[in-house]
Structure 1
Amino acid sequence: MKVTHSLTSARRKFAVTAAGIARTLIALVVVAVVLVALLFIVRPELAQQAIKRVETRWGYVFRSVDAGLTDSWSIALGVYLREALDGVPDIPELVIDVPFKEISKIYAKREEALARGILVQGPDDFVKGEIRIDDRVVPIKLRLKGDWNDHLAGRKWSFRIRTRGGEQLFGMRRFSIQNPNTRGFQSELMYFEALKRYDVMSPRYRFVQVTLNGESMGLMALEEFFSKELLEYSRRREGVIVRFDESYAWDSRDAITGEAVGWGGAFDDYRNAEVDAFGSSRIAESATLSKQYRVAEGLLNGFADGALSASEVFDVERLGAFLAVSDMFGSWHAVAWHNLRFYLNPVTLRLEPIAFDATLQDRFTDAASVISDEPVAIAMLADPLVRQRYKEVLDDLRTRYEDGSLPDQLRGVEDEHLALLQTEFRMLTRFPIDYLSGRLDALLASDGDYAFRDDREQDQYAVLAHFRYTENELQIETAIPREVEVRAASWIQPQSGEQAVALDWADLPLRLPARGVGSAPVGFTLPLLNPPDPDVTWRLEIEAGLPGRDWSRRFSAGPAAQVLTERPLPAADTPLPEFFVRENDTLRIRPGEYRVEASVVTPPGIVVSVDAGTTLRFANDALMLVNGPLRVQGTEDAPVRFVPLDSSWPGIVVMEADDRSQVAFAEFRSTHSVTTDSWTLTGGVNFYAADVDIRDTLFADSRGEDALNIINSDYTLQDITVDGTVSDAFDGDFTTGRVSGGLFTNVGRAGGGDAVDVSGSTIQVSGTRFTRIADKALSVGERSTMNATGVVMQDVGTAAAAKDGSLLELSDASISRASFAGLTAYIKKPEYGPAEIRAKGVTIAETAQPTLVQTGSRVTIDNVEQQSEDVDVDALYETVMKPGLRR
């Protein structure tokens, strides 16, 4: 018994001792945790230094862990630190309110996505809500976004948002919010910054604080969507944005896992994808945009089919730069075929890349090129011109890395945002840019011999073949690595359900060969039988299956896709008229009078020089396209005349000239603007990316939208005369320039014509006279700045208008007989904001109303602010400012 008692006593003493030790250890752990927490809060730089070496190797592991800590405590801590710490930039707070019934749909969709492993979008996913910011309430529609469930983790859900009711937020109508981790925190901005030097477009991207229905989501990344606002902000004309549609890849099932993921199979290929556009409803409502979409679709399909080279389809300068910068960063994600976005430049008819979603948290850091992982990029760099530009940009990047300017540029952007991000993501450190040097060296040393192979197949396919139709034939292209049997085709009347045979039974069944993964399709055509009543709408359905299987599937056939096999612009491949004389790098036209029966296109980089005393008479459909500098050397006694053979002619285009053009003592008469099946320009005389000086020149009897249109150029207009236009006289888009002296008269015979109309520009106007102007003598829009002095505006609709974030400074000017208003400032496009006019020494006489100022905009005359009022701008443009309306 004594032994037992001794053991029991010893055990009790040990237990007491162990408990004491445990309590001590727990206390020490608690103290350590508290100290570490305080360290992160008060001195995060010390914690960062402690893990710096580990971060170099495992940094993005830490970031992923950190980004996953999205419980309320970490979000609340971030909110507190953003308010408490010095040196943290202020950011907007978006308060999103969604009614219970609507938010319930969001919850259900999220649960469905978590169960499936991916988010599958539906046409009815958008729900209504509103965003409160400062004193504004912006009505919106929103839905969940993102393919993978990292966009739905924790409390930081990703949303696609559209504003309603013509409203905007930060100048955007469509945008996304998402966890900064999904875009690599600050690295996305650093990637965009590197692209700016080469004028490669990217969406606007910033950080905001978000609250959803009273619960904080903390710090979120706001990213602009693909819309016309993105183009306008990027100083591009309105146009279409297209992509390769990836839906077939998502709709197919993987043979190995059975998951609804088709990556690596037959449809993970740009050559096996349809082309579609963003904003399809807007495109359908515009004849101009519809034409542009057909061109964009045709160019991409022509490239995918191998009929057109990359340099015939894409803007070589920008594409080469996009590939080089993406490869330097190791961004395989940005160059993946399904992430490529392209803008069709409506002037050059070339596709420009729009960079986004670099995903640098999952980047290449070794010497391997991201190009070798992506067949579409391999095809692009197979073009010698694109590869040359790619190498030029890599060389420029390496030079700038070595001299320190590139690291300084990237660190400058990072420094603007890192302190903000670290308030919530406490383990986040600087983006490790040291790896860029090694990648640049390796990429420049590469011989560009890329190889790609992937033999995976899919068990369940979104489609078995591609079916399209024209007026009288069915077009079929192979799509999958199995033989396919086309068994029937029917016309179906949607309303009544009536069916009719669409293919002759003698042509069926049609056996289609297997298409290897990554290989080109094989095409077939079959004659279509006419539907019973051609005046009724019919839908064409095809029945197909796999040989030896007793099941069939039905597929709807769509209209035949546009495929271009040559450049849509007039080419310099036809002999020039005999009156052109080649003198080294110049094409010279000597004095004389010449007939131009067909369009003239000059080779790139060649100067076109026209001597004094020359007259060129153009046929009705004959335009002149100069792919280099234009030198028109008229004199007062011997001007150079560009005139029609009959009543009118398209006009002249000067494009992408390396040297400045000069036009003196010239006449341009009776142009009706440049229009072909694929190409529409608004001007009779056009300069695009071609700086120019024009003096002592007459533009008369313009029958198009603009007598003179200058885009993305610097210019001077000295003592020019514009006399007689159907619509506008001079239109400047994204320009810098100066107008001095001269006369604008009889502008806008059809009503609604402006004399000087600028967008996204900086311009000076001095000593110019404006008389008999149907609409506005001076129109300053879309974040432009104009300084006008000593101008005379007489018998005008409106003397001067500033709109959409623009500033007009007007001095020592006279306004008389303005039938609508002397000075007016307003918002036409809400994304730009209010406008302002500052007038000094301006006289206004015999004018209906001296000023019209919309609430929010400003007009001051001699430092006296004029009264503002609510103005229905839409009504203005449907009445007094409407083209074609005579006053």
Structure 2
Amino acid sequence: MKVSFPHEEDPAKTGQAANRQGPLRLLLAIVAGFVIVFSVLVLANPARVQAFVTNLEQRWGAPIFAEDRAVADKWSIALGSFFRVGRDDLPEVTELVIDVPFKEISQIYNKREEALATGHLVQGPDDFVSGDIRLDDRNVPVKLRLKGDWNDHLQGRKWSFRIRVRDGDHVLGMRRFSIQHPATRGYQAELMYFELLRGLGVMAPRYRFVDVTLNGDAVGLMALEEFFAKELLEFQQRREGVIVRFDESLVWDARDSASGGTVGWNGAFDDYRAAPVDAFGSSKIAESPSLSNQLVVAEGLLKGFASGRLTAAEVFDVQQLGRFIAATDVMGAWHATRWANLRFYLNPVTLKLEPIAFDATLQDRFSDTRSVVNGEPILIDMLRDPAVWNSYLQALALLAGLAEEGSLEANLRAVENEWLPLLQTEFRMLGPFPLDYLAPRAMALRDGMQQLATNGPPDLSYFQPFETGLYPRLAHFELHEIADGLKLQIEHAIPRDVTVLDIAWVNDAAATRRPGVANELPIRVPPRAVGARGQRMQLAVLSRPPGDGWVLETVSRIDGRSWAMTYRPKLSSAALRKSPLPRADLASQLEAHAFLSVDTDTATVRIAPGDWNVSANLIIESGYTLVAAPGTTLRFASDAAFVSYSALRMAGKSSAPINFLPADDNSWPGLVVINAAEKSVLDHVVISRTHSVQMPGWSLTGGANFYASEVEITNSRFLNSRGEDALNIINSKFLIADSWFKGTVSDAFDADFAEGSIRGSRFEDIGGAGGGDAIDVSGSQVIVEDVEFANVTDKALSIGEGSDVTASNIVVADVGTGAAAKDGSRLALSDARFTAATFAALTAYIKKPEYGPAELHAS
């Protein structure tokens, strides 16, 4: 064995090495000292960071800085993230501890590697995996998957996730949400944009920052964004309904990008008119007949607009759409207005689509005076409607005025200041969002658009998509079910000549094909002009063969190509040609109803005194006041509703009340007042035997309904209601005094997101079908005084979903439950007497966990 011993160093060589290392050590010490000083003086002070960046801007000059600032910001913020500081002086941030089992997290890793290899994330139906979120002292079961179109959502350790809460639980009041790197949405900028929209009455997701740990690894601060679900609607005082969008999946499947990319942006399918319509939560919708009917309307309205059959004002809520476009334009958030990022909620009362703000990506904003409208065909088509154009101009003028006086920036800064200090604990070089562009941009847009307004809406040119490439679909095939059978709609999709070779019923199990249409095949489909709506044809489909397993299949090919493409269309809703909401001009109503007259000088429509039969819908358009005299009686046919978009002035007397009742012994749909500009007043009015509106595409719960219409009801009676609610007030202020509710099948009074008082009234014989509440409020603020309840099968007072109710001097007898507070509500009772409550006099509980516990105070 050979053994080596340490040898002695040569003193001369050792000294020479030390002499060489001396200057190097000094240089390293100087560099280290500079880094420490820079970190303390600059990175530890975001104000200095912002001043440093501003100084660079001045020295670089605008042309270079405008181009390079985004890149510089990203690098500087990334560098700053290594210099985190404590949060001792900040409010406690919510911590989400996510645990995903090994098998499931491996599936996520594999999906990420696949996305990194292809350049973008392709979602699959089986991508969701099981996990848990530990939040406070709760363990919440969830499903989660990766999210995001592009790979900026998958970089580093801050991967983006879409999360669904299971088993009826919730996280921060939400059941569906996303978490993502704050940079993907411009840090605090997205939050500022959302708050601006909400301040204008336009819906936007809840958005906040949370501290995330994944399988024991600290991820750090992430942006949490609410997803499109029922909770989003209820939080913003909307009834449950469907949320729809234009489906962009064909763009991702295409390969016709002009830039040579692997997706079809700027190609033939990058056009809202070539996109299918999709709904969020489709499985839940399929389980609900009411939501399924609403989806038919929402899909039909959106397709009707895309096809040019319906105007924007017929489809969308004009005020909200105008405000959405204007606010987004002022912020320069062009990304939020791309057709693929638009989201719409169908209001089930108005049957209008309301926009929901989403994905502004303000780090890529327009900061000059370019309008986001230019180059976006759907916005141009929306603004061609004079009503939407005027709404847009009004909102633009409002925002420009706020920007000019400084309050717009001040309000946005207040939102920013709530979260920026927290973000700066991790992203040290993140400064305040630059808003110096806001006022000049807002005023320039206002002045420029006002000049265009003299000649009406602008006739702006479309951005023309390119024609070349590979297409995922050669024509659009839609299967529609109508009264006389199935129809197959074929619409031109691409700028190429296409031939439909075959349309057949196919049974894969039996390996059999049967003819699908009687038309002679093949069928030529001429090319679709770039930037134009496709032409359509409809074919009657032959009856489905007997037995199971038959599906309709189409075979088509591009002329001159040897290969063919098969497609199996599913049932979908056809484009509507008119809204299901009953509308009529005043002239037609004067002709249809002899008892009506109009005073054009005062914009007053009068119902002549007397006893009148109403055989068809009575519809009063907006811009008037409807007046009836004491003793007037209207007897409605079983399918005739009373619908008014104007205020009512119904002044009866105790000896001569105004009566609305059915023409026979059955029932009638009832009264609906929508978006009345003035307060309605009903005094000594009797509304009897209503069953609520149930029309094709339009269904309401109340026998009398007031939506976004202030109302005062005194000395009136609601008798023998056969619907879900005798009176339903939604998003309105109200007063009910000295009135009587008697003989209802279900609930008597239902307030949804309303504010008002009920005084000196009586509720009697409520819920005859076996269950019904006298007063049922959701998301409302109500005062109840001097009210009596007798013989109520369920609850005299049902207070839910974040309501605040004060009730005093009430008498409750013969009820199931006297008063119930639930789901984040507060009920304060005083001077209340309860007798003969079969279940309980008072109760408080949680029915919907996302709202939290309720409060009940009794004295």
TM-score normalised according to structure 2 size: 0.93
The code of the aligned residue for 1:360 comes to L
- Counterpart in the other structure of 1:351: 353
Question: Match of 1:105, SS?
Answer: helix
Moved more, 348-357 or 461-470: 461-470
- Counterpart in the other structure of 1:748: 767
- Counterpart in the other structure of 1:475: 489
- Distance in structure 2 (CA, Å) of the matches to 1:455 and 1:345: 33
What is the aligned counterpart of 1:687 among 706, 722, 726?
Answer: 706
The code of the aligned residue for 2:653 comes to T
- Counterpart in the other structure of 2:499: 485
Per-residue deviation, 1:414: 0.8
Structure 1 pair 454–20 and aligned structure 2 pair: CA distance change class (3 A) = farther
For each residue in 1:614-641, what CA deviation from the matched residue of structure 2 results, as whole angstroms up to 9, or x when unmatched?
0111111111111111111001111100
Moved more, 492-501 or 199-208: 492-501
What is the aligned counterpart of 1:732 among 745, 751, 754?
Answer: 751
- Counterpart in the other structure of 2:114: 112
- Distance in structure 2 (CA, Å) of the matches to 1:558 and 1:82: 56
Matches within 5 A, 1:824-863: 824-840=843-859
Check the 8 A contact 1:299/1:563 in 2, yes or no: yes
Moved more, 188-197 or 146-155: 188-197
Check the 8 A contact 1:488/1:503 in 2, yes or no: no
Per-residue deviation, 1:69: 5.3
The code of the aligned residue for 2:689 comes to S
Check the 8 A contact 2:46/2:430 in 1, yes or no: no
Matches within 5 A, 1:254-653: 254=256, 259-444=261-446, 445-446=448-449, 447=452, 448-470=458-480, 471-504=485-518, 507-533=520-546, 536-573=548-585, 574-576=588-590, 577-583=593-599, 584-646=602-664, 647-653=666-672
Check the 8 A contact 1:252/1:458 in 2, yes or no: no
Question: Match of 2:816, SS?
Answer: strand
The code of the aligned residue for 1:482 comes to R
Check the 8 A contact 1:68/1:154 in 2, yes or no: no
- Counterpart in the other structure of 2:795: 776
- Counterpart in the other structure of 1:64: 74
Per-residue deviation, 1:454: 2.0
Per-residue deviation, 1:17: 8.6
- Distance in structure 2 (CA, Å) of the matches to 1:750 and 1:547: 65
Per-residue deviation, 1:810: 0.7
Question: Match of 2:686, SS?
Answer: strand
Moved more, 484-493 or 374-383: 484-493
- Counterpart in the other structure of 1:716: 735
Structure 1 pair 581–834 and aligned structure 2 pair: CA distance change class (3 A) = same
Check the 8 A contact 1:55/1:62 in 2, yes or no: no
Segments of structure 2 that go 5 or more residues without pairing to the other structure are: 1-13, 59-64, 453-457
- Distance in structure 1 (CA, Å) of the matches to 2:374 and 2:567: 35
Check the 8 A contact 1:661/1:693 in 2, yes or no: yes
Question: Match of 1:207, SS?
Answer: strand
Segments of structure 1 that go 5 or more residues without pairing to the other structure are: 1-11, 841-887
The code of the aligned residue for 1:27 comes to A
The code of the aligned residue for 1:591 comes to P
- Distance in structure 1 (CA, Å) of the matches to 2:188 and 2:757: 40
Q: Percent identity?
A: 53
The code of the aligned residue for 1:507 comes to E
For each residue in 1:762-787, what CA deviation from the matched residue of structure 2 results, as whole angstroms up to 9, or x when unmatched?
00101111001010000000000110
For each residue in 1:436-489, what CA deviation from the matched residue of structure 2 results, as whole angstroms up to 9, or x when unmatched?
112112212232342223241241111110112343442211101111111112
- Distance in structure 1 (CA, Å) of the matches to 2:121 and 2:71: 24
- Distance in structure 2 (CA, Å) of the matches to 1:684 and 1:256: 57
Per-residue deviation, 1:788: 0.4
Question: 2:666 matched to 1:664?
Answer: no
For each residue in 1:137-178, what CA deviation from the matched residue of structure 2 results, as whole angstroms up to 9, or x when unmatched?
101110000000000011100000001111100100000000
The code of the aligned residue for 1:579 comes to F
Structure 1 pair 458–172 and aligned structure 2 pair: CA distance change class (3 A) = farther
- Counterpart in the other structure of 2:8: none
Per-residue deviation, 1:820: 1.0
Check the 8 A contact 1:490/1:502 in 2, yes or no: yes
- Counterpart in the other structure of 2:9: none
- Distance in structure 2 (CA, Å) of the matches to 1:830 and 1:529: 50
Structure 1 pair 365–257 and aligned structure 2 pair: CA distance change class (3 A) = closer
Question: Match of 2:495, SS?
Answer: coil
- Counterpart in the other structure of 2:87: 83
For each residue in 1:803-837, what CA deviation from the matched residue of structure 2 results, as whole angstroms up to 9, or x when unmatched?
10001111111101111111111111111011111
Matches within 5 A, 1:92-103: 92-103=94-105
The code of the aligned residue for 2:388 comes to V
The code of the aligned residue for 1:489 comes to I
For each residue in 1:500-528, what CA deviation from the matched residue of structure 2 results, as whole angstroms up to 9, or x when unmatched?
22234x61111111112221111123333
- Distance in structure 1 (CA, Å) of the matches to 2:575 and 2:209: 41
Q: CA RMSD in A?
A: 1.9
- Counterpart in the other structure of 1:816: 835
Moved more, 566-575 or 99-108: 566-575
Check the 8 A contact 2:589/2:619 in 1, yes or no: no
Structure 1 pair 256–521 and aligned structure 2 pair: CA distance change class (3 A) = closer
- Counterpart in the other structure of 2:693: 674
- Distance in structure 2 (CA, Å) of the matches to 1:564 and 1:518: 22
Question: Match of 2:621, SS?
Answer: coil
The code of the aligned residue for 1:661 comes to S
For each residue in 1:326-378, what CA deviation from the matched residue of structure 2 results, as whole angstroms up to 9, or x when unmatched?
00011110110000000000000000000011100000011110100211011
- Distance in structure 2 (CA, Å) of the matches to 1:618 and 1:781: 34
Check the 8 A contact 2:257/2:265 in 1, yes or no: no
